[in-house]
Amino acid sequence: MSNTTRRKLTLTEKARLVGEIERQYRAGIGSIRAIAQSLGIGYASYYGWVKSGIRAPGARRPSCAGHHFDEEHARLVAVVEARVAGGATVRPACRAFGIWEKSYRRWKEKFARPPVLRPGEVTALVPVALASLSAINFAPPAA
């Protein structure tokens, strides 16, 4: 049985921590997970607070309540790719930012895909002209 006690935070303290995490994230200091851990809280606590509506003091709009922001995914993919281009392997480059290699590969694939066209979005077909149909031999080869 553990003798550790959990620290109880007030709403004001939680709001201050949410604001600090978001400020450091916007400054590009690290991922939300890494920043939260450096401040002594779990990233799951941060997301739980944001989801429950706790906002930074003076925030004009609510924070995103997803596990990660799409912008963060794109930024993390870019910084990991930069490290890999510099000679690092994928796993250590991912671990330096607190992400799993599988997540990095999934995000990389997500942002590399061309957008999917839905029915009705294709407006016209482009005609293709064949240079010369006489140059093509349609006859079967002689036996």
pLDDT digits (tens, 9 = 90+) for 7-31: 788 888 999 999 898 888 888 888 8
Cα 3-34-75 angle, rounded to 5 deg: 160
Q: What is the pLDDT of residues 83-106, one digit of tens each?
A: 999 999 999 988 887 788 998 999
Which of 41-45, 46-50, 81-85, 127-131 is predicted most confidently?
A: 81-85
CA 64, 67, 72, 74 torsion-angle sign: negative
Whether 66 has a pLDDT exceeding 50, the answer reads no
At residue 83, what is the residue type? R
pLDDT at 71 over 50: yes
pTM of the model: 0.44
Percent of the chain surpassing pLDDT 70 = 66
Phi-psi domain of 58 (left: phi exceeds 0; alpha: psi -120 through 50; beta: other)? left
**How much is the pLDDT for 85?**
92
